[in-house]
Amino acid sequence: MIHLDNLTKQYDLPSGKGGTIVAADGLTLDVPDGEVFGLVGPNGAGKTTTLKMICGLHEPTFGTVAVNGVDVQRAPEEAQRHIGYLADFFSLYDDLKVWEYLDYFAHAYKMEEAAIPGRVNEVIRLMNLESKRDELITGLSRGMKQRLGVGRAIIHDPPLLVLDEPAAGLDPKARVELKALLKDLHARGKTIFITSHILADLEEICTSIAIMEKGHLLRVGRLEDVMQEGKSVRRLRIRLATSGFALTDWLSARPGVSGVAARGTAVEFALEGGDEHIATLLRELIAKGAPVCGLEEMSESLERLYSRISSGEVM
């Protein structure tokens, strides 16, 4: 659906004394159909710049972008038909009604006249805005406005949705609604390319992610593969049936164990090594008479993995 080839963007430094900043540095990436692809990275990493080049809103300094097989620079108008873009900061026309706003954009996309009223109503239903159909945009909550923005992006039914921080500023309930909406659009066959600083949300909806920093992609892959990386250290939790065994002390004294922390009757810790190390530890622990009634491996959050990758802890 998206193909980036050596995509590069240099901006001139604003000082006027010459010099450039490389916001995207030779990005090569393929995003297949049907993915929910999350782009994460700190402020200034180059995410918005990349999204704008994908949508044909910024001219690359070098390299090319193709969306659904269409070269975005060579055939921008045709490419637009395949892309629905929601910018990080977008304005709505407050004095229009919800349906008028969508109708306006349907016309702007030169949709077939006869199909517009039906499509406008369909999008209003999809966005769960039926009760606001005839109301002015100015009276919508922030979450509703965000959904209307997504509605505008999909009014012409593009196969690709490009969303720049759509969850920014939303309360937890509105975030849950937005996630449900994106899952629904994904189930309807849309490919979604999304940035967010709310990594827990991305972890829930993405099929693949890329981690970007200083214009480079540090990691790209299926969510589960990226999450699997750097797992030479496992986070484990052992639960005892009764108190009385000094599990914390016992674990802390063992080689390869770190980060020991008591959590009620359970103890969490990190262990270096593979399955056989876990088996050995458990065998010795039981031989010591510890009343072990549970062992579980805790999955690492994207949040934590991301901070480990960007701090260089996972190379």
Ligand X SMILES: Nc1ncnc2c1ncn2[C@@H]1O[C@H](COP(=O)(O)OP(=O)(O)OP(=O)(O)O)[C@@H](O)[C@H]1O
Cα 274 to Cα 56: distance, rounded to the nearest angstrom: 47
Coil, strand or helix at 147: helix
> With 0-12 CB in 10 A as exposed, 13-18 as middle and 19+ as buried, what is 242?
exposed
Cα 199 to Cα 208: distance, rounded to the nearest angstrom: 13
Chosen residue from 44, 117, 259, 274 binding ligand X by CB under 6 A: 44
The item of ligand X, Mg ion, none sharing an interface with residue 15, based on CB under 5 to 8 Å by kind, is none
Task: Please give the distance of CA 228 from its chain centroid, rounded to a whole number.
Answer: 17
By the rule CB under 6 A, 23 interacts with ligand X: yes
Chosen residue from 1, 7, 36, 45 binding ligand X by CB under 6 A: 45
- Which range of residues in 42-50, 128-136, 231-239, 302-310 is near ligand X by CB under 6 A? 42-50
In order of 99, 101, 188, the CA distances from 116 in angstroms are 11, 12, 20
By the rule CB under 6 A, 149 interacts with ligand X: no
By the rule CB under 6 A, 11 interacts with ligand X: yes
By the rule CB under 5 A, 191 interacts with Mg ion: no
Helices 172-187 and 116-126 pack at an angle, to 10 degrees, of 130
Question: Would you say how long the chain is, in residues?
Answer: 315
The item of ligand X, Mg ion, none sharing an interface with residue 45, based on CB under 5 to 8 Å by kind, is ligand X
- Secondary structure letter of residue 299 according to DSSP: P
User: Residue 175: enclosing H or E segment and its boundaries?
Assistant: helix 172-187
Between 48 and 80, CB nearer to Mg ion: 48
By the rule CB under 6 A, 242 interacts with ligand X: no
| Nearest residue to Mg ion, by Cβ distance, number only | 48
Q: Is the Cβ–Cβ distance between 38 and 211 less than 8 Å? A: no
By the rule CB under 6 A, 27 interacts with ligand X: no
Between 31 and 140, CB nearer to ligand X: 31
Chosen residue from 38, 46, 60, 149 binding ligand X by CB under 6 A: 46
How many of the other CB atoms lie within 10 Å of CB of 4? 24
By the rule CB under 5 A, 196 interacts with Mg ion: no
- Min CB(73)–Mg ion separation in Å: 21
Chosen residue from 5, 8, 10, 21 binding ligand X by CB under 6 A: 21
Chosen residue from 1, 7, 38, 48 binding ligand X by CB under 6 A: 48
Between 45 and 206, CB nearer to ligand X: 45
Chosen residue from 48, 68, 80, 208 binding Mg ion by CB under 5 A: 48
Interface with Mg ion: number of residues (CB under 5 A): 2
Q: Which residues share a beta bridge with 271? A: 234, 257
Q: Which residues share a beta bridge with 292? A: 240
Residues whose CB is less than 8 angstroms from the CB of residue 125 and which lie 6 or more positions away in sequence, other chains included:
none
What end-to-end distance do the CA atoms of the chain give, in Å? 29
- Min CB(33)–ligand X separation in Å: 25
By the rule CB under 6 A, 310 interacts with ligand X: no
The residues that touch Mg ion, with contacts defined as CB under 5 A, are 47-48
The residues that touch ligand X, with contacts defined as CB under 6 A, are 11, 21, 23, 41, 43-49
